[in-house]
């Protein structure tokens, strides 16, 4: 697969034998909403629970956590990037469509969606470190 500049897709990695992985990377997308006044505390909670757990699982390639505050509510969008569906199963269990929650999520979230979405990653920043600038 090629990127927009005609080079190799930035998300494909070489195997030890020099060949390329055939399976595309997968984005797992979860969203949740808190009251605005709880959003900073929930962000800290996510970083100590979900974020750490995502990053500890072999096959996790990174996590984006986005927040949008509007009309007294904070919407969180968590996008985790995985190298395969098998890697997602290591995190989520056999039913990868089911959302994963932690004990105190119920103290923050206004609702707890039961499912997440998965998308094939077709393109990504060539230098993801620039996002932190």
Q: What domains are there in the chain, each with its CATH number?
A: 26-124 (3.30.70.100)
Q: Among the residues of 27-109, which ranges form H helices?
A: 39-48, 50-56, 85-92, 105-108
Largest alpha-carbon pair distance within the chain? 53
Rounded to whole angstroms, how far apart are CA atoms 23 and 21?
6
Q: Which long-range contacts (CB under 8 A, 24 or more apart) does 13-21 make?
A: 13/83, 21/83
pLDDT tens by residue, the chain, 133 residues: 333 333 344 444 555 655 445 568 999 999 999 999 999 999 999 999 999 999 999 999 999 999 999 999 999 999 999 999 999 999 999 999 999 999 999 999 999 999 999 999 998 877 655 555 4
pLDDT for position 124: 80
Predicted TM-score (pTM) of this structure: 0.77
């Amino acid at each position: 697969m090629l990127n927009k500049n005609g080079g190799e897709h930035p998300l494909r990695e070489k195997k030890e034998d020099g060949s390329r992985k055939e399976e595309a990377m997968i984005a797992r997308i979860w969203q949740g909403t808190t009251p605005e006044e709880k959003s900073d505390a929930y962000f800290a909670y996510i970083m100590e629970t979900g974020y750490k757990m995502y990053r500890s699982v072999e096959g996790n390639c990174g996590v984006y956590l986005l927040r949008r505050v509007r009309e007294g509510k904070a919407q969180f969008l968590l996008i985790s990037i995985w190298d395969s569906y098998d890697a997602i199963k290591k995190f989520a269990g056999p039913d990868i469509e089911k959302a994963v929650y932690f004990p105190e999520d119920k103290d923050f979230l206004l609702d707890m969606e039961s499912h997440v979405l998965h998308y094939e990653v077709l393109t990504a920043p060539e230098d993801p470190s620039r996002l932190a600038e």
